[in-house]
Structure 1
Amino acid sequence: MKQVKGRWYWDPPDRLRRSHNLKTVSLGADQAAAWAYARRLNKDHLSLGEGEAPVGTVAWMIEAFLSSDRFNGLAESTRRDYRWLGRDVLAKIEVPPTTLGSMPAMSIKPRHADFIYTLIRDERGPSTAHYACRFARRLWHWGGRREIVGSVNPWSGMELQNPKARTALWTSAQVAAVVAQAEKEGYPSIGLATLLAYWLGHRQADILALTWTALDAGLVETRKTNRVLPIDVSAYPLLQEALQGTKRSSTHVVVYEGTRRPYNKYTFGHLWRAVATRALIPKALQFRDLRATAITELSDAGADVIELSTHSGHETVAMARRYARRTPEQFRRAAKKRAEGRNEG
């Protein structure tokens, strides 16, 4: 669809004009009536199945991207995020009198993108809004290369402000408190997962997927980047002691006591938060902050960026550096190196 001088037109792209012998149809000036008419035309002329998105709509372009080779080549976690952002966030956002998914992809303008960002921000928060608009920008770029949409990407140049960087760090006392509370409640697996995340600095998904075979071999493959990382738990005696005290009742290291099977992320997240809360851990301090804490402590101890990325599994040294929180210890080490350099001169 397109709007010209206040009137709406059903305007199929050239490839559909050729393949379906379609022509432009005037829909009138009333937007709601025009879109209803356009949906009937889509159904009548494009042979849509039940529940199938009309060709040319945002929802249709999302599904086309989600079935593309480009999408299938992305990391599993990225594919999961994009499916959620496309189907549950963008496609369902209400843009009166319809939803974004029902709108023709060609009709989306920069003003729509700005408005949609505001809607998502108010409903789901700035982080989700930022991520959704970044995904939309990528989606429209993909669509533009295939002439599904025009050459102007409405999601580019939005001047999005990055979400405020997290600064929360765990203390060893807080880690110990969660471990103790988990033991008290009969969930030692929660304590073990916390220790693994704190000492190894790995992502939650990798902690829950960790197997005894990988641990014994000293090689762990990350789920996000598919990188194989060397690990040696003997470098951390407290972690090694906890692992030696864990019964090997499954192929996985972290096993839910309730089912004697590996956790799914939802059960783990809910149970871990409940245990952490009863251990008096502030809600602002999250499981993911254990990873940042590990990287920050490594940086404070003098580990260089290569060592940081090898230990944490970040795909680039720049990402490892980004996760290391800024601390006074880093300033003191830098100042010490500067002073030593001046003395040598």
Structure 2
Amino acid sequence: MGSDGGPALITILALAVARVLQVCNFCPANSRRSRDSKSRTDDGSGEEEEALRKGSESTSRTDDASCEEYDVFLSFRGPDTRNGFTNCLYNGLRDAGIRVFLDDEELQVGKVIAGELSKAQDNSRIYIPILSKGYAKSSWCLREVAHMVECTSKSDGKKEILPIFYNLDPDDVKLKTKLYREAMTNHKKKFSSDDLKHWENALVEVARIKGWVLKGKGQREQIESIVEEVSRKLNTRHRIVTEHLVEDTAQLEAIMKLLDVGSSGVRFVGIHGMGGVGKTTLAKVMFNKLSIHFERSGFLEDVRASLQPHGGLLELQKKLLSDLAGDGVANQIKDVDGGIRMIKKY
């Protein structure tokens, strides 16, 4: 879909839409409470007692975390990244339609915090530990990262860890420098040697995983890269939309009514208007909201421009088939006629 004033067209293709929706079960969720409440303390001293004390103050969702499934579990140390990088990453993932567990906002009021966090980790698909300079100072964070390693090792490849090395190097996390070694030494006063060894092994294992090393780089670009990679792994196919977007609720509701997603069949909706009024942005927002309801989805952008070069139509066909059926099917087509036949098949 271009920005030259031509009509933008959303095409949503799905097989047995009603059947897909019928098998989806969602736990009801209530609105978020204040972001100012915290579910865990920020340093390594008295974490368990303080966290339990704050159970009645803790955050937002009043549904049981044991019945929720999350795409991503974010692990971080509050003083290092809470109000900066972590908050931006969390919002970026949520804007992309990704279900994120952030303990500040997802714990049930009055629940035993440690148990709820473990349930959230058990029900998450991807773990993102934000390994900052003070991460190893928190025994809470160390428990989280150890549980991540345990969950992934038992998942038969269904779960994975995507570490972020925030203003440090992987070697710091591998305990090759004094940064994390000193933090682990300080834990000897309160925890057993078995606990320390368990945590150290987890840190070293996570540090061996290829992730993102963020040092003196623009956070916005890095967050976009992380969101894209997570979306690719989750196959959410989300589209990046304009930052600080103000949604036109009336327009979105009107399109939702026209699409009638709960019904079976295929719907076509055309969005038209002058160039620059936000047709493509509106299409992207709708795509992000709806794609999670379908097993496969595709978004073809700048169609007119893509058709101009020789072979452009064939490449568009391959892009659509790749989204709907996978690269193996897309690579089978050799010409436009073959692409038409294959698209009809799927």
Structure 1 length normalisation: TM-score?
0.30
Task: Please identify which structure carries the higher helix content.
Answer: 1
Structure 2 length normalisation: TM-score?
0.30
